Amino acid sequence: MTAATPRYAPERSFPPYAFLPGRDPHPTRDPRGHSYGEDEAPADYLPAERWRENADYLFGVDLYNHGYLWESHEAWEGLWHSAKHDAAQAEFLQGLIQCAAACLKVPMGQPRGLERLCALGTERLEGVARAEGPVYMGVALEEFVSAMRSFAASSPESSDERPLLELAQRE
């Protein structure tokens, strides 16, 4: 991630810190948490082809790309719940959630968690690519899956080395 990393939902502010379990106050359960007491409105469902209009999805990508791994997981989880009736979108979101959680295992010092969650997440994303095509909700799935697997296999010392999500300008 660099200062040049694009923002897809620039109107939304990042939290004051990126939560790391065991280090920081839990964002929603601890009174010192960055999102404590905030009402969580259910995420609205939008079909996959309307991904550019999906502010929660785009903000999840921003959170992931800028190192807010736990927060991206949470943003996408709300969408995943609202998309459960849409098998492909639910599978895609769950794959992203697992990849973000895999990256979070690096600073937690849990290499087996990184490997396991990366395998689960990338398998889901591959399944979406087989069913829906190579680009889904703006993500070039084959490239991201390959980069995520390489990242996990490299014994990374920092989650900053993770592949970023670059959304397609056109599909």
Structure tokens at 69: 């791994």
The pLDDT assigned to 21 comes to 81
Looking at residue 48, the DSSP 8-state letter turns out to be G
Token look-up 């948490």 returns 33
Ranges of residues in the chain with a pLDDT under 50 are 171
Count CB atoms within 10 A of the CB of residue 130.
10
The pLDDT assigned to 117 comes to 97
The pLDDT assigned to 67 comes to 96
Looking at residue 115, the DSSP 8-state letter turns out to be H
Given a contact cutoff of 8 angstroms between Cβ atoms, the answer to whether 32 and 25 are in contact is yes
List, for residues 93-112, the tens digit of each pLDDT value: 999 999 999 999 999 999 99
Count CB atoms within 10 A of the CB of residue 49.
10
* pTM given for the model: 0.91
Q: What domains can be seen in the chain, in order of their start residue? A: 52-161 (1.10.3450.10)
Burial 2-39 (b: 16+ CB within 10 A, else e): eeeeeebbeeeeeeeebbeeeeeeebeeeeebbbeeee
The pLDDT assigned to 28 comes to 63
List, for residues 69-93, the tens digit of each pLDDT value: 999 998 999 999 999 999 999 999 9
The pLDDT assigned to 17 comes to 84
Structure tokens at 62: 């921003």
The pLDDT assigned to 27 comes to 61
